[in-house]
Structure 1
Amino acid sequence: MRLLFILVLFIASKSFVYAQTTDPLLTPDVENQKKWVDSIYDGFTLDQKIGQLFMVQAFSNMGLRHENIISQMVTNNHIGGIIFSKGDPVSQAKFNNTLQSAAKVPLLIGMDAEWGLSMRLDSTYAFPWNMTLGAIKNNKLVEKAGYHIGEHCRRLGVHFNFAPDIDINTNPKNPIIGNRSFGEDRDNVTEKASAFMHGMHQAGVLSSAKHFPGHGDTDTDSHLALPTIDFDLKRIDSIEIYPYRRLIKEGVSSVMVAHLNVPALEPQNGLPSSLSKHIITDILKEKMGFKGLIFTDALNMKGVANFSSPGDIDLAAFLAGNDILLISEDVPRAAQKLKEAYDSGIISEERLAYSVKKILKAKYKVGLNNLKPVKLDNLLADLNRTEDDALYQKLMENAITVVKNKGDILPIRNLETKKIAYLKLGDDDGSDFLKGLQKYGKVHEVVGNNLDEVIENLKAYNTVIIGFHRSNDNPWKSFAFTNKEMVWLYEIARTNTVILDVFVRPYALLDLKTLENVEGLVVSYQNSPFAQDASAQVIFGAIQAQGSLPVSIGNGFVAGNGLTLSSLSRLGYAIPERVGMSTEKLNKIDAIAQRAVDEKMTPGIQLLVARKGKVIYSKNFGKHTYDKNAEPVKFNDMYDVASLTKILATLPLIMELEEKGIVSLDTKLSRILPDYVNSNKKDITLKQMLSHYARLNPWIPFYFATLDINKRPDPKYYRKESGGKFTVKVANDLYMRSDYQDTIQKRIKDSDLLKSLHYRYSDLPYFILKKYLEKHYDKGMDELVQDRFYQSLGANHTTYNPNNIFSDINIVPTEIDDYYRHQKIQGFVHDMGAAMQGGVGGHAGIFSNANDVAKIMQTFLQKGFYGGKRYFKPETLDKFNTCFYCDENNRRGVGFDKPQLSDTGPTCGCVSMSSFGHSGFTGTYAWADPEEEIVYVFLANRTFPKAGSNTLLRENIRTDIQKLIYEAIID
């Protein structure tokens, strides 16, 4: 029977043949490598040779006694390597240096760092798990992940990363592999493993394919018992063994053999694969031609430890063909057993030399012929780099998978029609997801003590986003829905339009009996902050959806499924390095902004920088006021943006009408407003007005005429309560006569023109245009901009008169007025002329935050396209961004400010001439540069408590920051 089995095995194993043509442990200077290996080996005693076979587990967090034990093994047992486990990187580096200095021949250092050093060490970087990488179509990104992990290993003095895990996880109930696998499809697993391996090799770190012959289809943890892989040879060859053939051909450094019972490959019942000569020598080495190192899996695992006693297990593993005995339970006893076997002729010198010299070749390959200690300086910083964040972010963006998209619910469009709720399921934090969603639309978190309460609360919304959040600490954490959560999901989906986003391994979805009533299904794989933020961007179309399922998830969704959704060109959020900027250089901005706050140029600042459609810097400084108990500036706090209103409100409305042919840049004032037919301004064109080249006065202090002899609001024009003619609210408890609007317009119409034609900045065109726009549409400016722009843009914190909608806690005060309204101005426009129009001016009155201003500026930068909607044609933007009077020493575009023509002006002098923007009296500034694709927004309330001297302008704070932005460009 045994002979028959061996014959069958021999015939079937022919298909395993995929010989490694080169030795993966050889270096280009093979002659020098051989000389070094031979000289070291020839100088060894038998004990030293045997000692090289052991790789011992060490911890950097177990104290001096443990360190002494390991050090004694190095000196007394001559062990060849260390596999470091838990601890912290600095302690490990110190311990590593100590052990290396004690070793006669430098130690080969290994670690389990499948998703980075954080698999074992705190204070180190965690890259996405293999299951997440398995969703990425671009294998070059997976290769880059392997490279970054390899760099971290190398920096910490680790030569061998026991990765990639190439188990094909065809069993969803696998308790130990799961997220550590690239998925269930053998070809995808093989491609990903190959890419990951090559990345590590490029970083100079050796690889290890595991767990041979395949640990993916079992529901038993080999740490606790011996799993059985009960398939025939054809299945094992075509699935489990498949990726090993490819990686062996491509030069994998080592293979780790699992503790598995594989009856189809090993005739002895219950013999672990790690002790099987048939599996290791006959198949892996001879039939598959593998020439690299062969590791046992840890010999203290119950899957093998229960088979025999310590020492005997080690001897059996070596005789089976393993080169390195990993985590022996008893090194001295095992070494003695090996020595006795050598002395009795069971182990030949040739066999011993074969393994030891392979180990020495590996040591030479990683540079241990010229050992250098691990440097401690900047170690933590080197293991937690900005470029790692940039890569992680890109990996998550490419992994997130849209599985279902009924009715094209994704990405979310038409924000003006959406009322969106967010409901969190799971026991982990989802705040980054919610914050990410709220950057794009009005998304409210809905909570309730019971299902009925939640369903009632959801009636106010037409779209419900459910986030399922479980711990991201490690890949073995619980990932399943509870029965209660499943009931809630079914009932909510039955009565609402639902987008379900799961931030766990895809297998969680297998428990759901139906997804029929779920319109949108997104798999985000992990619950890290980057994953949450990237998923929010996918849902709103700031980035593409391009991942595919690495495993099947039931309900008809199988591995490989994944819908590709195009971007809607909304602003995304990214690490500066993603768009060719330097985080380190951008951070220099902080000092200038903080100086402005510290020196009381302004109480607080909101700052935002975007490039290539990505917000890469968004920070807040200071407080709402100088009061020590004042509110710190927050992301969604709203500022009076003053004259930015001109380009954020009036100009888009005029551009729209010009594009439709209702007006042109050459349209004269008398045509759009017949009142001006007999005025001295009748022939002024839109182009002249908006270019500030029309001989108009800079401003008219309309409010002066409404003050009494004591310079207080005259009762003739104001009341403390609304009623009758007194309906125009200019501040708290202060209402102006509504008929005074006509007086304002008449004064403008009748005002004298400047004596000479030259560039002179003026607010008056925007008073005039406000009147025209409201007359044309028969609707207020505040309604017009909301209906036509802000709501669909998702500019939800941009509005006139924010105190009608928002709490004062979110509105930054602008001034303590002691000359007109005589009160703190908060939520009311600072500009007096705009206040006299009920807070709705064409030149001032808009309140906003930096994020919303950036959306509008990005729309301009993208030539009128944003969020999947075209607001203007590109040629319209080009026309209004033209300096028609540059030859007359007037830098202005049509509405937009432009860079200076001489030495001084509104910019740092380092921007392109195609750039455009505007500034505001309250300290605000917004600028866009098409050539560098940069948007820069600076919001401040430098007018608080008094407008006074404009130190912010005099000290060039805004333009100095702009200069730093351009200095931060690295490509």
Structure 2
Amino acid sequence: MKNTDIRIYILYVLFFFVASCSTTKKNEPKVKLTQIPTVVDEYLVDNSLDTDTIQEPIALFTERKKWVDSIYSNMTFDERLGQLFMVAAYSNKDKAHENAIEKLVVESKVGGLIFFQGGPVRQAKLINRFQARAKTPLFIGNDAEWGLSMRLDSTYAYPYNMTLGAVQDMKLIEKMGVQIGRQSKRLGIQFNFGPVLDINTNPNNPIIGFRSFGEDKYNVATRAIALLKGMQHQGIFATGKHFPGHGDTEVDSHKGLPTITFSKERLDVMEFYPYKQMFKEGLSSVMVAHLNVPSLESRSNYPSSISYNVVTSVLKKELGFKGLIFTDALNMKAASNYLKPGEIDLEAFLAGNDILLFPENVPLAIQTLTKAYQDSLVSEKRLAYSVKKILKYKYIAGLNKFKPIVIDNLVSDLNETKNDALQYELYESALTVLKNEETILPIKELQNEKIAYVKIGDATNSSFISTLKKYTEVTEVSDSNLDSLQLKLNKFTKVIVGYHTSNTPFKNYKFSNSELAKLDFLAKNNKVIVAAFANPYSLLTVKDFSGIEGLIVSYQNSTIAQEVTAELIFGAIAAKGKLPVTLTTDFNTNAGLPTEKLNVLGFTAAENVGMNPLILSKIESVAQKAINGKMTPGMQILVARKGKVIYQKSFGSLTYEKGSKVSNNDLYDVASLTKIVSTLPNVMLQYDQQKVNMETTLGAMLPIFKNSNKGNISFKELLSHYARLQPWMPFYKATVDKNGSPLEKYYKKTADAQFSTKVADSLFLRNDYHDTIIKLIAQSSLLAQKKYKYSDFTFIILKEYLEKTTGKKLDELSTENFFKPLGANNTMYNPLQRVAKDRIAPTEIDTYFRQQTIQGYVHDMGAAMEGGVGGHAGIFSNSLDVAKIMQLYLQKGNYGNKQYFSEKTFNDFNTCYFCEEGNRRGVGFDKPQLGDKGPTCGCASMTSFGHTGFTGTMAWADPETEIVYVFLSNRTFPADGTNKLSRENIREDIQEIIYNAIEK
């Protein structure tokens, strides 16, 4: 035996002798002598304080050691003991609680606070208050497993660990760790009590479950390491928990003592694996759980948190962990049922823990530890070991130079837009497809589908259903009687079933018996796609999956989870996730099917496509300027980039009256945007099919023009507004009297066989007047000089051509060829046939022709005289549907992986053939200005294209920046008057903001 060992052995003999001879004084706490080690504590005599995973230059090490030694040497014994305690604090309690915590800080000299429920501003103020009163700066800890919102209101909630278990891109999880770390640091926190390293192999685990990364040790380790790297990169200490492993339990340790029956060999191979990997990566701290682990602790029902064998022999010695060790909360029943306050604190410290978390009675605990010290149960070396380690970490955290938390902008700083940007990426990566029979996902060929949605569960589903409806018409169907429900569903080709449960981790997520019966019934009688917005374990109760064609695990019922699930169903994103737990022999760990990504518009945050959201937010002030200046009552504005909608907002009201706020689902008369939304794509089909070419003459297209002064106008000249056509003609004026009232010769108030062209409410035009309009155009004179001159005649003529050539009406053509297959179900002529009037923005109070408020009828008089279906006007739509058309163009004729017309056709139409002659127009498209004035901000590329409309509309796309911009308004209401919207460059100023927001 070495001399050092002999000396220590003699000390232990003397210690036993003194202890056996001593008597307990009256009123002193009685100590159970259960933790006296029988072997030398090497961890007390080695240099572990200076050889842990913290890497630093020698100069910094020397400075740190000097600070630690100085603080420690100047502490009283009571102050040293106080450092061992981290007490629970709340920012949502009363003054009595706050004063009680302050008393512990001042009188008991506690070393830290773990904050629970409350709010960030209230918590920050309390931290500043308590830090100001602390002689030695306090550690501040927080449970932020999925962000600060785990405990605090007004903060951000990231996905739960089980959701992250499905994510395959570790860089995303590391980024989440960075953001949690940054937010924690902003709130003056040093310790995040996460990540959870428990391997959840028990589906009935009542307290871990969602908090685990899953049941595969490798998946748990890799994701925990990613979070660790992110958090500690921001200077926040990560805490692995709950050692030795809380995954296979069926008892909540808050309420009782769970038992882990695994052998030590199994624990070493499985439960310890993530810890070993985390130690290699520099894990700062470990939290020890309250568990009964017979293979590690021979004493029956002895909590692991107070077991010397678990904390010291296994965690410190065998696994070599040198960081800080926390107990789990000592008020939990698994611990507090075993020993009383004071006794449990001493046992935990003797076991080898450094910090005693959530003690129930700090003064009593200090008194108990003091007595143990006096009785030599606790040595100076043991106390110095933990206290100096605590001080070392305080120095590393920068608490030697503590600065108060800045309260200003705290909430906004904690809720940056980049949070949503990452949230989209995480959920997009997590969504897991388990079944995809007959490639039901994604849904294609929308023109052949009739889709219903049925909800199961009692939680919100608003984001899911609203996003589904952005892709095509989806009908919500419900009925408490299953047979009646099925009668309603019989007419649908597919049924999307959403299972929506509470988004809180500890609430019941399982299907009820009636819900299981409903799901089974729906699956047997319909083609169904099921999306489970719940813990994947919820699917364990589903006995038969055979009738389900598509099965998606969405993990949580959050807003963004619902949104991206709808995107996956329609192909805007592909499935990437892998199941983190085993459900059946078919759906085991790491199961997950890939799905096809279609080039349809999706939705994300601006940062994810290289745009600055703070700059984009300036759009609001321009929009408000237009509303305040009575330039328009309201508007819809949409921005998309790289195939993702990043900004879609509505402003103002449908009229200047209150109570009619504009929503994104409302419809606007898009006026001349009709030309590129409806007429032009159909003309491009004709060109694509070689029925016309750029040199085809108007006379060849339509016989009525063959012998007219317009017979030799080429197709290219016609669509480039370079054909000397008159700008427009007020066709209606010949049909009204001098007071602007409709003449009986042309109109009737009720429809009949000859008067069935509906112009407005109770106003029907003679059916033969269409021929008159075409004749008037054919007979009209040409402009004297050949130059660029915008004309409505072009697209009135093209409508006539399309209808004569195809034998179908333009509205029918557009719906069949484009609107239905694109899922542009909010784009239509004559919307009152399908849409409630209060969803449509009025365009004018007409006192010169129709003598009524124009709402749901086209504003353009010529298009009105065509029964609302004009080639140049008549379309009603919303910003999203217009964006789909523009994205189709941007993708050169392809949308949803369907080629509508060739890339060559698009390129031919997007060419400016007469730019050298001063005509900026493409073939059917408007193009950026050649001089100072024009339709854009001047910042769009020359390859960009679009159109503007008389009612205050604009749609523009830029292939170089991949931007789509849509602006819809009803600036003509209540009277068109002066176009202040155009004069003030509102649309152009917004476009300039969009381009300024581009970062990469």
1:232 to 1:744, Cα distance in 2 relative to 1, 3 A: same
Counterpart residue number, 1:314: 345
Counterpart residue number, 2:601: 571
Q: CA shift at 1:873, angstroms?
A: 2.1
Deviates more, 1:603-612 or 1:284-293: 603-612
Amino acid at match of 2:326: F
Deviates more, 1:88-97 or 1:899-908: 88-97
Counterpart residue number, 1:60: 91
| 1:22 and 1:251 in contact (8 A); partners too | no
1: distance between equivalents of 2:232 and 2:753? 82
Unaligned runs of 5+ in 1: 1-9, 11-18
**Secondary structure at 2:237's aligned position in 1?**
coil
2: distance between equivalents of 1:738 and 1:122? 64
Q: CA shift at 1:316, angstroms?
A: 1.6
Counterpart residue number, 1:167: 198
1: distance between equivalents of 2:578 and 2:907? 40
Q: CA shift at 1:711, angstroms?
A: 4.2
2: distance between equivalents of 1:108 and 1:513? 50
Superposed counterparts of 1:948-967, under 5 Å: 948-967=977-996
1: distance between equivalents of 2:875 and 2:122? 55
1:118 to 1:627, Cα distance in 2 relative to 1, 3 A: closer
**Secondary structure at 2:114's aligned position in 1?**
strand
Q: CA shift at 1:270, angstroms?
A: 1.7
2:412 maps to 1:381: yes
**Secondary structure at 1:94's aligned position in 2?**
helix
1:173 to 1:21, Cα distance in 2 relative to 1, 3 A: farther
Q: CA shift at 1:708, angstroms?
A: 4.1
Q: CA shift at 1:26, angstroms?
A: 5.4
Superposed counterparts of 1:274-673, under 5 Å: 274-472=305-503, 474-554=504-584, 556-628=586-658, 631-673=660-702
2: distance between equivalents of 1:751 and 1:240? 87
| 1:87 and 1:120 in contact (8 A); partners too | yes
Q: CA shift at 1:159, angstroms?
A: 0.3
1: distance between equivalents of 2:124 and 2:667? 49
Superposed counterparts of 1:194-205, under 5 Å: 194-205=225-236
2: distance between equivalents of 1:738 and 1:61? 72
Deviates more, 1:757-766 or 1:263-272: 263-272
| 1:668 and 1:685 in contact (8 A); partners too | yes
**Secondary structure at 2:81's aligned position in 1?**
helix
Counterpart residue number, 1:751: 780
| 2:168 and 2:577 in contact (8 A); partners too | yes
1: distance between equivalents of 2:208 and 2:467? 31
Q: CA shift at 1:706, angstroms?
A: 2.6
Q: CA shift at 1:819, angstroms?
A: 1.9
**Secondary structure at 1:852's aligned position in 2?**
helix
**Secondary structure at 2:241's aligned position in 1?**
strand
Amino acid at match of 1:593: A
1: distance between equivalents of 2:656 and 2:288? 66
**Secondary structure at 1:269's aligned position in 2?**
coil
2: distance between equivalents of 1:633 and 1:49? 63
Q: How many residues align?
A: 952
Superposed counterparts of 1:31-46, under 5 Å: 31-46=62-77
Q: 1:909 aligns with which of 935, 938, 945?
A: 938
Superposed counterparts of 1:243-262, under 5 Å: 243-262=274-293
Describe the superposition over 1:267-311 as per-residue Cα deviations: whole angstroms up to 9, x where unpaired.
222221112222211111111111101111111111122222222
1: distance between equivalents of 2:177 and 2:187? 16
Describe the superposition over 1:45-104 as per-residue Cα deviations: whole angstroms up to 9, x where unpaired.
222222211111111222222222222222222221111111111121111112111211
Q: CA shift at 1:700, angstroms?
A: 2.1
Q: 1:778 aligns with which of 807, 810, 826?
A: 807
Amino acid at match of 2:814: V
**Secondary structure at 2:756's aligned position in 1?**
strand
| 1:117 and 1:126 in contact (8 A); partners too | yes
2:929 maps to 1:929: no
Counterpart residue number, 1:110: 141
Counterpart residue number, 1:794: 823
Amino acid at match of 1:428: A
**Secondary structure at 1:195's aligned position in 2?**
helix
1: distance between equivalents of 2:854 and 2:361? 78
Deviates more, 1:820-829 or 1:757-766: 820-829
**Secondary structure at 1:339's aligned position in 2?**
helix
2: distance between equivalents of 1:25 and 1:319? 25
Q: 2:853 aligns with which of 824, 828, 834?
A: 824
Unaligned runs of 5+ in 2: 1-38, 40-47
2: distance between equivalents of 1:672 and 1:863? 25
Q: CA shift at 1:468, angstroms?
A: 1.1
TM-score by length of 1: 0.96
1:604 to 1:98, Cα distance in 2 relative to 1, 3 A: closer
Superposed counterparts of 1:85-234, under 5 Å: 85-234=116-265
| 1:514 and 1:555 in contact (8 A); partners too | no
1: distance between equivalents of 2:867 and 2:820? 21
Describe the superposition over 1:610-642 as per-residue Cα deviations: whole angstroms up to 9, x where unpaired.
11211122121222223345x322222111111
1:489 to 1:524, Cα distance in 2 relative to 1, 3 A: same
Superposed counterparts of 1:666-705, under 5 Å: 666-705=695-734
Q: 1:83 aligns with which of 102, 107, 114?
A: 114
Deviates more, 1:675-684 or 1:661-670: 675-684
Amino acid at match of 2:398: G
Amino acid at match of 1:506: P
Describe the superposition over 1:462-481 as per-residue Cα deviations: whole angstroms up to 9, x where unpaired.
21111111111x31111011
Counterpart residue number, 2:17: none
| 1:27 and 1:365 in contact (8 A); partners too | no
Describe the superposition over 1:641-687 as per-residue Cα deviations: whole angstroms up to 9, x where unpaired.
11111111111011112122121112111222233332222221111
Q: CA shift at 1:344, angstroms?
A: 2.5
| 2:290 and 2:303 in contact (8 A); partners too | yes
2: distance between equivalents of 1:604 and 1:88? 36
Q: CA shift at 1:361, angstroms?
A: 0.9
Counterpart residue number, 1:236: 267
Counterpart residue number, 2:796: 767
Q: CA-atom RMSD, angstroms?
A: 1.7
Amino acid at match of 2:277: R
2:855 maps to 1:863: no
Counterpart residue number, 1:4: none
Describe the superposition over 1:185-221 as per-residue Cα deviations: whole angstroms up to 9, x where unpaired.
1100000000001100011100110011100001011
2: distance between equivalents of 1:203 and 1:476? 29
1:628 to 1:232, Cα distance in 2 relative to 1, 3 A: closer
Deviates more, 1:156-165 or 1:707-716: 707-716
Amino acid at match of 2:985: N
Describe the superposition over 1:847-886 as per-residue Cα deviations: whole angstroms up to 9, x where unpaired.
1111110110111111111122121222221211111100
| 1:429 and 1:469 in contact (8 A); partners too | yes
| 2:680 and 2:924 in contact (8 A); partners too | yes
Counterpart residue number, 1:840: 869
Deviates more, 1:707-716 or 1:793-802: 707-716
| 2:740 and 2:847 in contact (8 A); partners too | no
2: distance between equivalents of 1:21 and 1:74? 28
| 1:493 and 1:517 in contact (8 A); partners too | yes
Q: CA shift at 1:110, angstroms?
A: 1.0
| 1:20 and 1:249 in contact (8 A); partners too | no
| 2:213 and 2:223 in contact (8 A); partners too | yes
| 2:432 and 2:579 in contact (8 A); partners too | yes
**Secondary structure at 1:843's aligned position in 2?**
coil
1:22 to 1:790, Cα distance in 2 relative to 1, 3 A: farther
